[in-house]
Amino acid sequence: MKLHELSPAEGSTPKKKRIGRGPGSGKGKTAGRGIKGQKSRSGVAINGYEGGQMPLYMRLPKRGFNKPNRKSWAVVNLGILQKFIEAGKIDAKKPITEDVLLESGLVRRKLDGVRVLAKGDFGSKVELSVSGASKSAVEAVEKAGGSLTVTSAKATEAAAE
């Protein structure tokens, strides 16, 4: 059997009905849209319209609040950082900054800064400096014999300029 000999089973793929192709087709002239009115015309989308009744999305209560100036962090877990050090992508002997994490590919983009979390096992003696860290992450790095300094985001922006 060759590729060009393959075909779907008989009757499994019915032919598409060609709309608006004459009276003999069964869907000619108005193409199944009826006569006149908004729905018979092209370019009409009436999603969410309930015939003048208050739409469902407006009847439901609004909840919560979205903070307009919320910070979004690039998150780094200590377990993944350890894997990158073991793989040789990050040199543990040199100080590890946000730029080093970016170059190694551990962080795709900095966003408002890099935040270190304590998920996973960590046992390397490193000197880390990032925008944010959880208390347990700081304890885990210090327990391994390293140091984790949290720099403010404003200070790093000023240094970049």
Averaged confidence pLDDT in the chain? 87
* Residues 121 and 82 sit within 8 Å (Cβ to Cβ): yes
Q: Categorize the per-residue pLDDT at 12 as very low, low, confident or very high, splitting at 50, 70 and 90.
A: very high
pLDDT, position 154: 53
Query: What tokens were used for 130?
Result: 């990032």
Q: What is the pLDDT of residues 141-158, one digit of tens each?
A: 999 888 889 987 555 444
Return the CATH number of the domain spanning residue range 74-154. Answer: 3.100.10.10
Q: pTM of the prediction?
A: 0.55
Q: Report the amino acid identity of residue 133.
A: A
pLDDT over threshold 60, residue 19: yes
56/123 Cα distance (integer angstroms) = 54
With a pLDDT cut of 70, the percent of the chain lying above it is 94
Instruction: Spell out the domain ranges in the chain.
Output: 74-154
**pLDDT given at position 124:** 83
CB-facing half-sphere around the CA of 148: CA atoms within 13 A:
24
